[in-house]
Structure 1
Amino acid sequence: MAEYDLVFGSSAYVHVQEVLLKSGDQQMHSSGGGVLGGGWKNPNDPRSLPTGGKIHILAGEQIVPRSAYARWFSYEEQKYYQAEIIFPENLFETISEFATAFGENTSEPAIIFGFSPDGKIKVSIESSCSYIYECGKNNKSREIASGQGAPVSGDPNIYLPITKQLIRRGDIAPIKGIMP
């Protein structure tokens, strides 16, 4: 067990349906993060990491995952994706390192899942200085896992009202066959 926050972000409008963290016979299930539209600037740039602040799911003591399963829907593509990713063996040590990065002024580390509409998934860990007058506006982040989701079946009509709203607002381009 370790203390960390679980956060979701994305590079475009997606709906995270579920994330399941696994460690041996232990599992931690998140029902998803709803509609996301930011928190990961450029998934095609290997240096770009998902950042915190979009959808905050859990905080406090959690299992240290060995793997994760995720499923999400891309509003732009009208496709579902799923992926299984494996975390490094030393994840507990990494969480501990990030929990003390700025001494007693360290914010609780966050494990951040970033989702893209083309099926990419990247997971980073981040912590920051919680007292700007002591250690400045510093933060520390690192990629801890990544993968490529596979398209899977699902009914895009479930998300039709939100898709229409996103098109009307100009957040996503018009989609052939969908009248906003």
Structure 2
Amino acid sequence: MPRLWTTRLLTALLLALLLLTAACEAEPEPRRYDFAIQLNGGPTGWPVWVEELTFDHTWWSPGGNLGGGFDKRPPSGGATAVLSRPMPAPSSVQARWFSYRTQTFYEIDLELPNTDALLQQWYRDYPPPDYRHYLMAGFSGEGEVYVWWRARCTVCGRDRSRDFHAPIVESAWAEEAEGDPGRYRNRTQEYVNEGVIPSPW
């Protein structure tokens, strides 16, 4: 009987040691940040419609109709989507968009550099709630993409000199993709009628 208890005790200790070792080797939970997504399209005269926008192939942000602002450096303004909860710094961006001017679809799966250490520093230097943080992405009507980080001063009134901007990816090029431009014919015609773009037909 004592031998059976000894075996059970040793088995339990080995199991506990294995569980403890596995817990120590598990990757730590990634740090999460409170930020919004800000999108730009264009440049002026090159409006786009962002159909799909995901990060790390897991979470998404609304896209939609974008025009103008792509060629401004540092970027500012644009359509903003507030995230419902803090998220880890993304390591990739996936996007699909349509260029009204060229009647072309573009797709990209863009790997981002590891920005976690930079974000920790930026949040220390530009702390919330005095600063609102944004991951900015721009999509041009010619297939170019950029990704920047922005910290906008919320206590500075109209003074934008204390805002912070940093490029994450200054320029990347998407691949042309399949799609039916006819889905966007009515909106394209509106842009032509308004003089925003020349007729692509």
| Range of TM-score over shorter length | 0.7 to 0.9
**What is the distance in 2 between the residues matched to 1:92 and 1:39?**
27
Equivalent position to 1:139, from 128, 149, 163: 163
Task: State the shift of 1:14 in Å.
Answer: 0.3
Equivalent residue letter for 1:58: V
CA RMSD of aligned residues (A): 2.1
Structure 1 match to 2:116? 92
**What is the distance in 1 between the residues matched to 2:33 and 2:128?**
17
Task: State the shift of 1:136 in Å.
Answer: 6.7
Task: State the shift of 1:76 in Å.
Answer: 0.5
Task: State the shift of 1:73 in Å.
Answer: 0.4
Structure 2 match to 1:29? 60
Question: What whole-Å deviation, never above 9, does each CA across 1:2-34 have from its counterpart, x for those lacking one?
Answer: 211111101230000111101xxx71122x421
Structure 1 match to 2:92? 67
**What is the distance in 1 between the residues matched to 2:188 and 2:160?**
41
Report if the CA contact (8 A) 1:49-1:122 is conserved: no
Consecutive unaligned residues in structure 2, runs of 5 or more = 1-31
Equivalent position to 2:141, from 112, 117, 121: 117
Question: What whole-Å deviation, never above 9, does each CA across 1:62-84 have from its counterpart, x for those lacking one?
Answer: 23211111110000000000011
Task: State the shift of 1:96 in Å.
Answer: 2.7
**Structure 1 SS opposite 2:117:** helix
Structure 1 match to 2:25? none
Identity across matched positions, percent: 23
Report if the CA contact (8 A) 1:129-1:136 is conserved: yes
Q: TM-score, normalised by structure 2?
A: 0.74
Q: TM-score, normalised by structure 1?
A: 0.82
Equivalent position to 2:50, from 5, 16, 32: 16
Change (3 A) 1:140 1:71: same
1:40-59 aligned within 5 A: 40-41=70-71, 48-51=73-76, 53-59=77-83
Report if the CA contact (8 A) 2:132-2:153 is conserved: no
Instruction: Please identify the structure whose Cα radius of gyration is greater.
Output: 2
Structure 2 match to 1:45? none
Structure 2 match to 1:106? 130
Of 113-122 and 139-148, the range deviating more from structure 2: 139-148
Consecutive unaligned residues in structure 1, runs of 5 or more = 43-47
**What is the distance in 2 between the residues matched to 1:137 and 1:96?**
22
Work out which structure has the larger RCO, using CA pairs closer than 8 Å and 6 or more positions apart in sequence.
1
**What is the distance in 1 between the residues matched to 2:143 and 2:69?**
16
Equivalent residue letter for 1:123: V
**Structure 1 SS opposite 2:146:** strand
Change (3 A) 1:88 1:166: same
Change (3 A) 1:63 1:104: closer
